[in-house]
């Protein structure tokens, strides 16, 4: 056997081993995805309402009856800024910026729902951890809801679907300002509750 034939045989053997390893890796990825998002984990349980739907407090109310999509996000009132400053602790991100962000997000979320168009979320604020998520629109969703767990959001809606309207905030007051700008009541706070059998199976992991 010539040196070139031996080299080709060695390369073919190495390629075969790489293909086997790749197939095992793909199978492992599938197993991990199945263990995380298996139908039994997603659907064996129920949603429970932690807090009922609520009205926007008067200090956060906005006069938007004649405010159109083309007018852009509403400006914050003195009452909104004062309430936000009283409830938000100081951070590297100014309170005024967070208020304007919430108003802008609420306006464009409302516009997306009204005009049946795609919503581009603001997403998380750098250096601040998101604690609240609100979903206004999603495939199969009958009404808006909010949650304190992103994983709970992912149980019900596809974040990458063009119909999805979802936003996240580091504080409740920012979510409330968003709702005022979006012209909706504060949606019910929901939490996913695993079935009893599922809880027993997962031991002390509990619900999300």
CB within 8 Å of 146: residues ≥ 6 apart:
132, 133, 134, 135, 175, 186, 187, 188, 189, 190
CB within 8 Å of 3: residues ≥ 6 apart:
none
> Is 190 in contact with 152 (CB distance < 8 Å)?
yes
The string of DSSP codes covering the chain is --HHHHHHHHHHHHHHHHHHHHHHHHHHHHHHHHHHH-HHHHHSEEEEEEE--BPPPGGG----TT--GGG-SPPPPHHHHHHHHHHSPP-SS-HHHHHHHHHHHHHHHHHHHHHT-------PPTTS---EEEEEE-TT--S-EEES-HHHHHHH--TTSTT-EEEEESSHHHHHHHHHHHT-PBPPEEEEEE-HHHHHHTGGG---
Q: How confident is the model at residue 2 (pLDDT cuts 50, 70, 90)?
A: low
pLDDT score of 118: 96
Tens-place pLDDT, residues 146-174: 999 999 998 888 988 999 999 999 999 99
% of the chain residues with pLDDT over 90:
60
Tens-place pLDDT, residues 80-118: 999 999 999 877 899 999 999 999 999 999 999 999 999
pLDDT score of 32: 56
Which is more confident, 19 or 112?
Answer: 112
The least confident of 99-108, 129-138, 194-203 is: 194-203
Q: ∠ CA 134-87-173 to the nearest 5 degrees? A: 15
């Amino acid at each position: 056997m010539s040196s070139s034939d031996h080299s080709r045989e060695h390369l073919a053997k190495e390629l075969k081993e790489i293909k086997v390893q790749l197939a095992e890796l793909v199978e492992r990825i599938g197993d991990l995805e199945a263990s995380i998002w298996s139908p039994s984990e997603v659907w064996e349980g129920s949603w429970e309402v932690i807090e009922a739907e609520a009205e926007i407090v008067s200090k956060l109310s906005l006069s938007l009856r004649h405010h159109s999509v083309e007018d852009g996000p509403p400006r914050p009132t003195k009452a909104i800024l004062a309430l936000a400053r009283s409830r938000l602790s100081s951070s590297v991100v100014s309170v005024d910026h967070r208020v304007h962000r919430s108003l802008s997000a609420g306006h464009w979320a409302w516009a997306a729902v009204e005009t049946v168009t795609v919503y581009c979320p603001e997403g998380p604020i750098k250096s601040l951890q998101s604690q609240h998520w609100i979903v206004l629109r999603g495939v199969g969703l009958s009404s808006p809801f909010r949650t304190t767990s992103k994983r709970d959001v992912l149980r019900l809606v596809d974040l990458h679907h063009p119909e999805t309207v979802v936003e996240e905030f580091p504080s409740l007051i920012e979510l409330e300002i968003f709702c005022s700008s979006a012209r909706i009541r504060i949606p019910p706070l929901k939490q996913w509750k695993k079935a009893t059998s599922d809880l027993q199976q997962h031991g002390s992991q509990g619900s999300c």
